[in-house]
Amino acid sequence: MMRKMNGSRRMSFVFRWVALLLAVGGAAKATTLARMSVAQMSHAAQAIVRARCVENSAGWDAGEIWTFTSFQVQEAWQGSVSGRIRVRLLGGRVGNLTSSVSGVPRFRSGEEVVLFLERTPRDDFSIVSWEQGTFRIRREAATDSESVTQDSASFATFDPATRLFEAAGIRNLPMETFRARVYAAMSAETRRKQ
Of the candidates 122, 114, 10, 24, which has an alpha carbon nearest to the alpha carbon of residue 66?
A: 122
Which residue from 31, 80, 143, 194 is in contact with another protein, where contact means CB under 8 A?
A: 31
Which residue from 54, 99, 158, 160 is in contact with another protein, where contact means CB under 8 A?
A: 99
Which residue from 98, 145, 177, 187 is in contact with another protein, where contact means CB under 8 A?
A: 98
Q: Which stretch binds another protein (CB under 8 A): 74-82, 94-102, 158-166, 186-194?
A: 94-102
Least gap, CB of 91 to another protein (angstroms): 7
Q: From CA 115, how far away is CA 126, in angstroms rounded?
A: 9
Q: Which amino acid is at 60?
A: W
Q: From CA 91, how far away is CA 66, in angstroms rounded?
A: 5
> Restricting to residues 121-180, which ones interact with another protein according to CB under 8 A?
121-122, 126-134, 136, 149-155, 171
Can you say how many angstroms the Cα of residue 4 is from the centroid of all Cα atoms in its chain? 42
Q: From CA 152, how far away is CA 145, in angstroms rounded?
A: 22
Which residue from 4, 163, 191, 193 is in contact with another protein, where contact means CB under 8 A?
A: 4
Least gap, CB of 125 to another protein (angstroms): 9
Q: From CA 17, how far away is CA 153, in angstroms rounded?
A: 20
Is residue 55 a contact point for another protein (CB under 8 A)? no
CB of 134 closer than 8 Å to CB of 104: no
Which residue, 73 or 128, is less far from another protein as judged by CB? 128
